[in-house]
Chain A
Amino acid sequence: MLELAIRGSKKYYGWMLFLLSIIGVGFFFYLKQLDFGLGITGMSRDVSWGFYIAQFTFLVGVAAGGVMVVLPYYLHDYKVYGRVTILGEFLAIAAVVMCLLFIVIDLGQPMRVFNVPLYPSPNSVLFWDFIVLNGYLFLNLIVGWNVLEAERNNVHYQAWVKPFIYLSIPWAISIHTVTAYLYAGLPGRGFWLTAILAPRFLSSAFASGPALLILLCLIIRKTTNFDPGREAIQTLAKTVAYAICLNVFFFLCEIFTVFYSQIPEHMDHFKYLFTGLHGHGAYVPWMWASLALMLLGIILLVNPITRKNEGVLAVACVVIFAGTWIDKGMGMISGGFVPNPLHEVTEYIPSVPELIISLAVWCVGFLVLSALYKIAVSVKEEVGT
């Protein structure tokens, strides 16, 4: 089936070349980072994780979001999702590829990354993250590829694939749970030290992942002869609606505990993000924008009139994706480091090279996604579903 990815229209080639050119620029800056060190980023002794790890965290969510189509289709035999399941699996693959890249580019000594499997440390959450992310990548490759190939050959997929499908469902939950545990078990980081972190991560994942999937479905319908189907899109929209409600609810649960208890070590991070602390407040407008976007998303998606209008639905999905991205891809990481353990405020602003490298990783993801979707859509067009 791979040949389908390299046979395409001029538009397809143009798009891929466009992505490759940005990747090229990003790669140049990454070489600079390799040469100079992570000092070319905005990270510091106090804010020792930044944009890269934040993107990683957000994208683990997008990857886990794929399970929102896999579960109803395979576990509940929800036939409507027959057309979009492969899109969800392939989105997960592209997202995990980005996650792994973001981890590697964040390492100070990337050539030593294989020290992780070489000196396995079961007490480190990062060790488990390494396992669950790679495992999820392989599960989705195995399942997606085999099911699509079977569809192309007009046969049912082979029986041995079934256990992998079932395994991929709890595995999707695990990748984002483990990612939350990276943060939620650290003493002295009051912002993350909360049991609601993993549920918050999952709810935002199940909003952002399917929201992106809806947008991708709409784009596919516009640009190809394959229609993922209105009903599938509408059902996905309901998933997004409930997930974003839960995400805001979990956030408010956290806000209640933190502010009713009045414990400064937990409050100060929220104060920094939402009102500014000791005169530092670079993230204040962003955080309020994130909250406003998520609330707007709820209004647009819970209301059936707006949800059923696909134009409005597209806007709502963009709004929710942006809102959850700011929340996790910007505030979640730097918010946990400010103030620092000595209660000093060092702000973190990503540097331009850092942003360009991050953009390039996103482009790698979209390159992988475009190639995989090209294959999937070509197969779907071939078999004429």
Chain B
Amino acid sequence: MDSSRRQILKFFGISTLAMSTKPLLDAFAADPAAEGAESKETFLAGPEALKARQWAMVIDTREFHSLEDVEPLIEACHSIHNVPNLPIRRHEIKWIWETEYKHAFPMKGARFMAEELEHRPFLVLCNHCENPSCCRACPTQATFKRESDGIVLMDFHRCIGCRFCMAACPYGARSFNFRDPRPFIAETNKKFPTRAKGVVEKCNFCAERLAVGRLPACVEASEGKVTFGDLYDPDSPVRERIKTNYTIRRKQSLGTEPSIYYIV
């Protein structure tokens, strides 16, 4: 090998190395204090935006008796978020849905429970965990916990569709677009993005509504059966409900600290 060729190769080698290690070094050397203000808070909250340290929800399951009671909540969510209605169950996408007690709380049921409780519809959705295993698993930070209010969000444009987050979620809260969902959206809400095939999606605690001062769609549709508020504000409505009622959370023992509380 003559010397000029060797030099060119060396140059390319070093520049490739430099290019590939730079983001790596950034990741390890990131100083949260220095970048916090500008680079992380790219969304400007509006003047009416609702704020919290950690949004949380209390679902009073005693108020839900039949499918008619839960359907308006599911419908409210799925229609404004362009959640498709896919014909094959394998491809199903759902942000919030109802299930029986034994599926919402596996291994937690008493034997010979009251029939009413056994068949009561339990709403399940993303728990917006305080210690989310899905965000830990994501290789691109496409799913992340928003520091300002604790919502676990998805960047549909960054997601590579590896589905590691789906394996990591102990609540089955995540769905994957196994095909183009757009033909299966009854009526597209132009104010919220539709998704492409090949990305994961889930409940976003209506981050887009909170930003303009509105409560999540399911909370609004529940007519008081679901309470929403800041878990760390002692005067918030959720704190009031948690204090005055015995509540349980799904799979508390896993240490994910789910933010959805259930009054049973």
Contact = CB atoms under 8 A, between A and B. Distances in A.
B160 A116 contact: yes
B160 A115 contact: yes
Contacts of A189: 167, 170
A106 B162 contact: yes
Contacts of A117: 20, 23-24
Given A39-B90, A130-B139, A344 B170 contact: no
B254 A119 contact: no
Interface string A114-156: 0111111111111100100000000000000000000000000
Interface in B196-234: 196-200
B41 interface: no
B194 interface: no
Contacts of B102: 343
Interface string B158-172: 111111101111111
Contact of A187 (B162, B179, B254): B254
A316 to B, nearest CB: 35
Contacts of B99: 342
B5 interface: no
Nearest to B100: A342
B199 A109 contact: yes
Interface string B119-138: 00000100000000100111
B64 interface: no
Interface stretch (B52-60, B103-111, B146-154, B237-245): B103-111
Given A130-B139, A341-B172, A43 B90 contact: yes
A113 interface: yes
A188 interface: yes
Interface residues of A, number: 48
A342 B107 contact: no
Given A37-B198, A39-B90, A121-B140, A126 B164 contact: yes
A309 interface: no
Contacts of A48: 163, 166-167, 176
A310 interface: no
A112 interface: yes
Contacts of A106: 162-163
Contact of A264 (B24, B107, B164): B107
B252 to A, nearest CB: 11
A37 B179 CA distance: 5
Contact of A37 (B138, B180, B255): B180
Given A39-B91, A108-B197, A108-B199, A49 B103 contact: no
Contact of B167 (A49, A130, A343): A49
A115 B142 contact: yes
A115 B158 contact: yes
Contacts, number: 164
Interface in A20-60: 36-39, 42-46, 48-49
A119 B137 contact: no
Of the listed residues A39, A126, A265, the one surrounded by the most CB atoms of chain B closer than 10 A to its CB is A39
B178 A39 contact: yes
Contacts of B198: 37-38, 107-109
Contacts of A124: 136-140, 164
A186 interface: yes
B236 interface: no
A182 interface: yes
B199 A44 contact: no
B71 interface: no
A192 B129 CA distance: 22
Of the listed residues A45, A107, A115, A125, the one surrounded by the most CB atoms of chain B closer than 10 A to its CB is A45
A264 B27 CA distance: 40
Contacts of B137: 124-126, 186
A122 to B, nearest CB: 6
A36 B179 contact: yes
B43 interface: no
A341 B256 CA distance: 14
Contacts of B89: 44
Nearest to A336: B167
Contacts of A115: 139-140, 142, 158, 160
B162 A341 contact: no
Interface of B: 20, 23-24, 26-28, 88-93, 99, 102-104, 106-107, 124, 133, 136-142, 158-164, 166-172, 175-180, 196-200, 251, 254-256
Given A43-B178, A115-B140, 20 more contacts: A37-B197, A38-B198, A39-B179, A45-B90, A45-B93, A108-B160, A109-B198, A120-B23, A120-B24, A120-B27, A121-B139, A122-B28, A124-B140, A126-B137, A186-B168, A188-B133, A265-B107, A340-B172, A341-B172, A343-B107
Interface of A: 36-39, 42-46, 48-49, 103, 106-110, 112-113, 115-127, 130, 182-183, 186-189, 264-265, 336-337, 340-344
13 contacts: A36-B179, A37-B180, A45-B172, A112-B140, A115-B139, A117-B23, A121-B27, A122-B27, A124-B139, A126-B164, A188-B171, A341-B170, A342-B124
Which A-B residue pairs are the 4 nearest by beta carbons? A108-B161, A188-B170, A108-B198, A39-B178
